[in-house]
Amino acid sequence: MAMQQPFRPFDPNRTPLAQQFRTWTEQTPAPYDKALVDPYTRCRVILMNGIENDSWFFLHHWYRHTGDEKLRAKIAELRRVETQQQTSVNWLNPADQTVIETTIAYEQVATDLTANLAKNEPDPYAKQVLDFALIEDFDHLYRYAHLMQLLEGKSAETIVKGQTDIAAGRPTPEEHRRPADMVRRHIDNKTADVKTKLNAQTITAAEQQTYLFYKSHGFMYGNDLARRLYAEIAEVEEEHVTQYESVADPKATWLEMAALKQVNEAYNYYSCWQTETDPRLAAIWEQFYRMELEHVQQVGQLLHEQEGKDIHTMFPAEIAPLIVFESNKEYVRQIVNTQRNLQPLGTEFRSKEQLPADWGSYRSIVNREGVPSQQIVEMVPAPA
Ligand SMILES: [Fe+2]
Ligand SMILES: [Fe+2]
Ligand SMILES: [Fe+2]
Ligand SMILES: [Fe+2]
């Protein structure tokens, strides 16, 4: 993408909080046309829905951990805006887009978002964490493409439109591990690069959204193999949420975490705005970006009042590069070729041959009666 301006978290052109509540009509913009939409516009809708749901979750958890009524009132106010934004973004998905079509798009997000974050991740360990799960979501796309062929007789190419390869990554049957092997080392906010902090927030929100989508739709199928495949892949998303949420600094205060969340929301909307090809959606991304700038200010005010901290010293005035959805075929192939045999042992990554004999004990339990991700590729001819 050419000539983007960097993201400025303290851009003064923001929307006052009192002007952020919208009517039911305003909250529910018309959906995109699934036949005409750019695949990466669809990806941005999925990503921003996940970002908003994560913001909503976070504000509820924070609220439940404070008895300060002034603070509770402010959290409730911000949260109402977040939930309205989430409605608007998720309601952009059209009614005629089937669950499996949306699922293919979720794994396209997971592939091309993760690749973009990994390419721009300055911390080598955080980059390894991203690359590790990148080729697992890439493999999910391949398995779900077979399910789409089975359920609808359609190619997943109708969704990904040639931008993302549909091919095997690290095989999904090998992705089931002991929970403790999904724990990762965490960063220290005092020394970490701001891009590392933002990447951890973005990818955790995206993987959490994917988990929630599979858990809230997988049971809706009458087909038994589809039911089991969603159960299997949803559990891998649970693993991914565990590894990604490990990375953020756990020693940050609630207010410091709130500041990072709001800056990250603004950064994501700004990235969408700058890269969006559909002018109607670009206008929504800009509108919500300017709301998030105000959330950053509001949390900054609370940080000043309650902890004597200056938010302007916590974040640089300009942040680059932006998040860009684009084709990453070459990069993904390279990671598949070099890291397919990598597995975690505790917080560290090892090649398969270096793992202790009992490493696969969990996998041998869950895979004992057959593995849906294997069965689907055996049952259905390779999708066109
Ligand atoms: Fe938001
Ligand atoms: Fe996935
Ligand atoms: Fe994932
Ligand atoms: Fe926000």
Separation of 111 CA from ligand 2 center, angstroms?
Answer: 8
Q: Which ligand approaches the C-alpha of residue 49 most closely?
A: 1
Q: Which residues of 44-54 are buried (b: 16+ CB within 10 A; e: fewer)?
A: bbbbbbbbbbb
Separation of 78 CA from ligand 4 center, angstroms?
Answer: 7
Q: Residue 207's pLDDT is what?
A: 98
Is the model's pLDDT at 68 over the cut of 80? yes
Separation of 192 CA from ligand 2 center, angstroms?
Answer: 27
**Cα–chain center distance at 286:** 20
Q: Which ligand approaches the C-alpha of residue 239 most closely?
A: 3
Q: Residue 384's pLDDT is what?
A: 61
Separation of 276 CA from ligand 1 center, angstroms?
Answer: 18
What's the token pair of residue 186?
Answer: 């965490």
Is the model's pLDDT at 44 over the cut of 50? yes
Tens of pLDDT along 330-383?
A: 999 999 999 999 999 999 999 999 999 999 999 999 999 999 999 999 999 876
Separation of 293 CA from ligand 3 center, angstroms?
Answer: 29
How far is the C-alpha of 296 from the C-alpha of 9, rounded, in Å? Answer: 7
Separation of 305 CA from ligand 3 center, angstroms?
Answer: 38
Separation of 203 CA from ligand 1 center, angstroms?
Answer: 16
Q: Which residues of 68-91 are buried (b: 16+ CB within 10 A; e: fewer)?
A: eeebeebbebbbebbbbbbbbbbb
Tens of pLDDT along 107-166?
A: 999 999 999 999 999 999 999 999 999 999 999 999 999 999 999 999 999 999 999 999
Q: Which residues of 156-183 are buried (b: 16+ CB within 10 A; e: fewer)?
A: bbebbeebbbbebbbbbbbbbbbeebbe
Q: Residue 232's pLDDT is what?
A: 98
Residue 351's beta-bridge partner residues?
Answer: 342
Q: Which ligand approaches the C-alpha of residue 172 most closely?
A: 2
Is the model's pLDDT at 1 over the cut of 50? no
Separation of 82 CA from ligand 1 center, angstroms?
Answer: 4
Separation of 292 CA from ligand 1 center, angstroms?
Answer: 6
Mean pLDDT score across all residues of the chain: 97
- CB of 117 closer than 8 Å to CB of 323: yes
Q: Which ligand approaches the C-alpha of residue 241 most closely?
A: 3
Separation of 241 CA from ligand 3 center, angstroms?
Answer: 8
- Please state, as a whole number, how many other Cβ atoms lie within 10 Å of the Cβ of residue 36: 8
The DSSP letter of residue 381 is P
Separation of 111 CA from ligand 3 center, angstroms?
Answer: 8
Is the model's pLDDT at 186 over the cut of 60? yes
Separation of 266 CA from ligand 1 center, angstroms?
Answer: 8
Separation of 265 CA from ligand 1 center, angstroms?
Answer: 6
Distances (CA, A) of 122 to 3, 90, 128, 259: 22, 32, 11, 21
CB under 8 Å, gap of 24 or more: what pairs does 55-63 form? 55/79, 55/82, 55/205, 55/261, 55/262, 55/265, 56/82, 56/83, 56/86, 57/208, 58/257, 58/258, 58/261, 59/258, 62/254, 62/257, 62/258
Separation of 282 CA from ligand 4 center, angstroms?
Answer: 18
With bands split at pLDDT 50, 70 and 90, how would you rate the model's confidence at 4?
confident
* Amino acid (1-letter code) at residue 79: R
Nearest 5 degrees, angle CA 62-CA 267-CA 330?
120
What average pLDDT does range 250-279 have in this prediction? 98
- CB of 134 closer than 8 Å to CB of 329: no
Residue with tokens 């950053």: 296
Q: Residue 373's pLDDT is what?
A: 98
Hey, CA dihedral for 26, 298, 205, 161, is it positive or negative? positive
With bands split at pLDDT 50, 70 and 90, how would you rate the model's confidence at 234?
very high
Please give the backbone phi and psi of residue 20, each rounded to the nearest 5 degrees, phi first.
-95, -10
Separation of 6 CA from ligand 1 center, angstroms?
Answer: 20
Q: Which ligand approaches the C-alpha of residue 205 most closely?
A: 3
Q: Which residues of 197-228 are buried (b: 16+ CB within 10 A; e: fewer)?
A: bbbbbbbbbbbbbbbbbbeebbeebeeebbeb
Separation of 187 CA from ligand 1 center, angstroms?
Answer: 25
User: Closest Cα to residue 212, out of 126, 94, 90, 113?
Assistant: 90
Tens of pLDDT along 206-225?
A: 999 999 999 999 999 999 99
pTM over 0.95: yes
- Please state, as a whole number, how many other Cβ atoms lie within 10 Å of the Cβ of residue 240: 26
Q: Count Cα atoms within 13 angstroms, Cβ side, for 127.
A: 11
Distances (CA, A) of 148 to 100, 142, 151, 169, 380: 6, 10, 5, 18, 10
Separation of 85 CA from ligand 1 center, angstroms?
Answer: 6
Separation of 137 CA from ligand 3 center, angstroms?
Answer: 5
